[in-house]
Amino acid sequence: MSQYPAEPSPQRPGGAPSRPAAHEEERTSRASRGPSRLASVTGTYEFGVTLSLALLIVAVSVWAPRFLSTTNLMNVARNFAFNTAAAVGEAFVILAGGIDLSVGSVISLAGVVTPLLLQYGWGLWTAIGAGVAVGALCGLFNGVLVTKAKMPPLIPTLGMLSIARGLALVITRGRPITDFGEHGAAFLKLGQGYLFGVIPYPVVYMALVIFLGWLVLSRTPFGYAIYAIGGNEEASRLAGIPVDRIKTLTYVISGAVAALTGILLASRLSVGNATNGQGDELEVIAAAVIGGISLSGGKGTVLGVLVGSAIIGVLRNAMVLARVSSFWQEVVIGSVIVLAVLLDRLRYRRAQ
């Protein structure tokens, strides 16, 4: 440090800095804020994973130029829209320090309940509401066992995975449902129609779920409480946050979103089948983790979930274009899941 005092800036009478000095200080302040803001963005995990997605898209488009065609891009978006929406619901649970392994089976159960009710003559929106309610009840079951019975989240959600899948098989007797009654045309339009004749309705649904998820998590006390609980559950209790109620609600949200996803998936596929959504729980969790949702809870964003799901969607589409066997596709996706969890653990250790 210099032993000489700094030269004072020119002063106006009364001690205020002169106008040139004030402008110079303002410019210096802006210059110092600029790099720090840029660093705060580029230094995030979400930026890194978004950059990875961009590089993946460039690589695939160079190798297969038809990848960037409007038709193909819409197909890619429509295909990963379902799991993206379910992953947003899953993100609520993981951010609060839990895990929900039952989402795939809830997708199946709701995806047969609503078509069956339509077949029995129920109104379209009444049947959809009943399907969503079934998913919410599954989530409530999980949440109560986790918070009141103090079970590790893995146990009740794994049990619900089997229960919901079994109920779907019992309800349908193992047969697909293709008759949707008098409201069949309206039901099929939900999964197969287009907004303005361009954007598939499943993509619109995904966008709405992402927006609502972002709004709740980043702009409401409920969302702040979820992050707080995931970061330190005991401290949250001491701070007066109703931890059990909020954690239970995250499971209800996950179940309801998974159910609505299953209903739209049945519409998209023109069939209510107990096998719809089978195994989707791993891809849903993978999308969340790849997108930066920490399995330890308390870290991550909904936009990161979108990017994580898009990476899986682009990878799958690239393998389809390359005519890679569906068996090898599962090997690749499984490897990506393991890598994502490994990176999550490394990030957690660095943070510690």
200: in domain: yes
Specify the pLDDT at position 10: 47
Comparing 337 with 261, the larger pLDDT belongs to 261
Comparing 25 with 87, the larger pLDDT belongs to 87
Among 78, 41, 82, which residue's Cα sits nearest to residue 287? Answer: 82
Q: Any idea what the CATH number is for the domain that residue 234 is in?
A: 1.10.3470
114, 128 contact by CB (below 8 A): yes
138: in domain: yes
Q: How confident is the model at residue 8 (pLDDT cuts 50, 70, 90)?
A: very low
Q: How confident is the model at residue 340 (pLDDT cuts 50, 70, 90)?
A: confident
Specify the pLDDT at position 44: 75
pLDDT digits (tens, 9 = 90+) for 128-171: 999 999 999 999 999 999 999 999 999 999 999 999 999 999 99
Q: How far is CA 217 from the centre of its chain?
A: 12
Count, residues in the chain: 352
254: in domain: yes
Mean pLDDT over the full length of the chain: 87
Specify the pLDDT at position 43: 54
pLDDT digits (tens, 9 = 90+) for 301-333: 999 999 999 999 999 888 888 888 888 888 988
Among 312, 302, 339, which residue's Cα sits nearest to residue 46? Answer: 302
295: in domain: yes
> Which pair of tokens denotes residue 316?
């799958």
Comparing 187 with 13, the larger pLDDT belongs to 187
pLDDT at 297 over 60: yes
pLDDT at 3 over 50: no
Question: In angstroms, rounded to a whole number, what is the distance separating the alpha carbons of residues 49 and 296?
Answer: 19
pLDDT at 274 over 80: yes
Question: In angstroms, rounded to a whole number, what is the distance separating the alpha carbons of residues 99 and 112?
Answer: 24
Under DSSP, the state recorded for 183 is G
Q: State the residue range of the domain holding 308.
A: 69-351
Question: In angstroms, rounded to a whole number, what is the distance separating the alpha carbons of residues 35 and 119?
Answer: 61
Burial 314-341 (b: 16+ CB within 10 A, else e): bbbbbbeeeeeeeeebeeebeebbeebe
pLDDT at 111 over 70: yes
194: enclosing H helix or E strand: strand 194-195
pLDDT at 1 over 60: no
End-to-end CA distance of the chain: 34
333: in domain: yes
Q: How confident is the model at residue 42 (pLDDT cuts 50, 70, 90)?
A: low
Lowest-confidence pick of 19-33, 128-142, 328-342: 19-33
Question: In angstroms, rounded to a whole number, what is the distance separating the alpha carbons of residues 101 and 133?
Answer: 19
pLDDT at 198 over 50: yes
Q: What is the dihedral of CA 179, 181, 187, 189, to 10 degrees?
A: 80
Lowest-confidence pick of 70-79, 96-105, 243-252: 70-79
3: in domain: no
Tell me the CA distances in angstroms from 286 to 167, 195, 280, 318, one per residue in order: 26, 29, 10, 18
Mean pLDDT of 172-198: 92
Among 181, 175, 158, which residue's Cα sits nearest to residue 106? Answer: 158
pLDDT digits (tens, 9 = 90+) for 54-95: 998 999 888 888 888 888 888 889 989 999 999 999 999 999
Comparing 157 with 7, the larger pLDDT belongs to 157
Strand, helix or coil for residue 11: strand
261: Cβ–Cβ under 8 A, 6 or more apart, which residues? Answer: 82, 83, 85, 86, 89, 107, 277
pLDDT at 188 over 90: yes
256, 212 contact by CB (below 8 A): no
Specify the pLDDT at position 24: 52
DSSP assignment of 293-314, as one string?
--TTSS---HHHHHHHHHHHHH
Among 281, 279, 284, which residue's Cα sits nearest to residue 326? Answer: 279
Specify the pLDDT at position 36: 53
Question: In angstroms, rounded to a whole number, what is the distance separating the alpha carbons of residues 38 and 245?
Answer: 38
Q: Considering the entire predicted model, what is its pTM? A: 0.85
Mean pLDDT of 22-40: 50
Specify the pLDDT at position 66: 83
Specify the pLDDT at position 9: 46
Structural domains in the chain (count): 1
190: in domain: yes
pLDDT at 298 over 50: yes
227: in domain: yes
